[in-house]
Structure 1
Amino acid sequence: RNTAGVLALAGDEEFPYAVPISYVYDGTHIYFHTAVTGHKVDALRQNPHVSFAVIDRDEIIPEKYTTAYRSVVAFGRIRFIEDDAEKRETARKLALKYAPHNTEEQHTREIDDAWKRFHMLEMTIVHITGKQAKELVGKE
């Protein structure tokens, strides 16, 4: 239900690298798209272990000096999707999430036009943790 999260991975010179990124979650895996070259791709090829954080809610309650927050962090491994049919299907899932009003033909055309310029990544979740403010317990 959220549109972006932060993907954290091992960066250069032992510095962590965290990047905001759009995603789609299918109930089993988290999928991302990325350019075919760049720091993120290089880092993931070197070390596929990642974490992915999403802030679901963050509402300031000034009179209590706190926030009503809800967040989740998933830990896992990234796999570059190499199979064309699987790449197309996961790209379609992303397209449906972010442009649900577009037709299937529009999705296909967009995917085809960008085909050689992006990778699809699959995150296999190993562990998930979440946290929320006590004000939100039992709510939405």
Structure 2
Amino acid sequence: MMEVTNYHNDKVRRQDRLLDEAKATELLRSGEYGTLSMSCPDEGAYGIPVNYVWDGDQSLYVHCAPVGRKLQCMEKEPRVSFCVVGKTNVLSDKFTTEYESIVLQCTAHRGLSDAERMKALSLLLDKYSPHDKAVGMKYAEKSFHRTEIIRLQVTEWSGKCKRMMVE
């Protein structure tokens, strides 16, 4: 499996909380969902949690309806941010939270070929419904005409974590 290039932690303010690239890559692969954040000219910012799948290279895929606010925002401004949060642990007596997260800067692409769209749906099924893939592929084919796929092309990304020492 390839790794996403352009992993840079130099812009992370807390250099003592860096998530190493191997752990960040695993979080990208295994994360359950991410928050897609967009700037919508004339509307302000918009963020929404979505399921996603990483292709093992430079792209994430998100599926949605063929119309909606996120697509309108991306048409006006295709540069987006995507955040995945992994394990968290609130330490109430220490007034802090342990966490791990990655933030990806991406360019959103629509109008993908039918082959790329179907490949993305297959990857999503591999991730979220591996035991029901055959039925899922039939469903994907049946609903293909009303399903939009967005490719988020990663331009750069970083990772951060906080782990407390056990006393």
Q: State TM-score, norm by structure 1.
A: 0.89
Distance in 2, Cα, partners of 1:20 & 1:129: 19
* Offset at residue 27 of structure 1 (A): 2.3
Q: 2:132 aligns with which of 97, 102, 110?
A: 102
Matched, 1:51 2:99: no
- Which residue identity does 2:140 align to in structure 1? I
Distance in 1, Cα, partners of 2:61 & 2:133: 21
CA deviations 1:47-79 (Å, max 9, x no partner) are 110000011122101121111111110001011
**C-alpha contact (below 8 Å) 2:40/2:76 kept by paired residues:** no
Percent identity, please: 27
* Offset at residue 107 of structure 1 (A): 2.3
* Offset at residue 85 of structure 1 (A): 1.0
Match of 1:34 in 2: 64
Match of 1:18 in 2: 47
Match of 2:10 in 1: none
How many residues matched? 135
Residues 72, 66 of structure 1: CA spacing in aligned structure 2 closer, same or farther, 3 A cutoff? same
Match of 2:151 in 1: 122
RMSD: 1.5
**C-alpha contact (below 8 Å) 1:81/1:122 kept by paired residues:** no
Match of 2:108 in 1: 78
Question: What runs of 5+ residues in structure 2 fail to find an aligned partner?
Answer: 1-29
Match of 1:27, SS? coil
- Which residue identity does 2:114 align to in structure 1? D
Q: State TM-score, norm by structure 2.
A: 0.76
Question: What runs of 5+ residues in structure 1 fail to find an aligned partner?
Answer: none
**C-alpha contact (below 8 Å) 2:37/2:47 kept by paired residues:** yes
* Offset at residue 13 of structure 1 (A): 2.0
Moved over 3 A (4+): none
Match of 2:5 in 1: none
CA deviations 1:90-115 (Å, max 9, x no partner) are 111011111111143x1221101211
Structure 1 or 2: larger strand share?
1
- Which residue identity does 1:33 align to in structure 2? H
